[in-house]
Amino acid sequence: MVTNAPEEFMLEAIAEAKKAKSSGDLPFGAVVVHYGKIIGRGRDETHTKGDVTDHAEMIALREACRKLKSNNLEECIIYCTNEPCLMCAAAIFQANIPKVVIGLSRSDLPDLLRNREINIYHLAKDSNHQIEIVKDVLKDKILPLFRDLEKK
């Protein structure tokens, strides 16, 4: 698997998060990378589209699956500006993605996001395949996107 510096692709996920925020959605972004090439991009669209499943990760995963014509993304890495929720984490695991790169954890935004008893780290331990989770990538560039947001 070709790997570029995680920061390069996290910057792309951050760009998606900025687009989401400028559209009135929460600043969440994600990209799926296959052999050094972005094959899926997503940003939060839950408010603008009125669909609770339109999370950045879900949109990026759908696009990646369409491009590869497969639901098996075992040769891919997903870069997420924020720790994926349980729905997104489950989809990532179903797609067999072996590596998840995360900017912010839920605990970085306690005034905006509720803590969960179960999170991506619990699911990774319970998964039937090995998953590497890298966290805190470009955290300092993502945190400012949330400074003016209130808990919803």
Q: State both tokens at 18.
A: 């900025």
Strand partners, 32: 40, 78
Residue 113 CA to residue 106 CA, distance in Å, equals 6
Contacts of 63 (CB under 8 A, 6+ apart): 32, 39, 40, 41, 42
Residue 57 is among the residues annotated as catalytic for this protein: yes
Catalytic residue, from 45, 57, 74, 150: name it.
Answer: 57
Burial class (CB in 10 A: 0-12, 13-18, 19+), 106: middle
Catalytic residues: 57
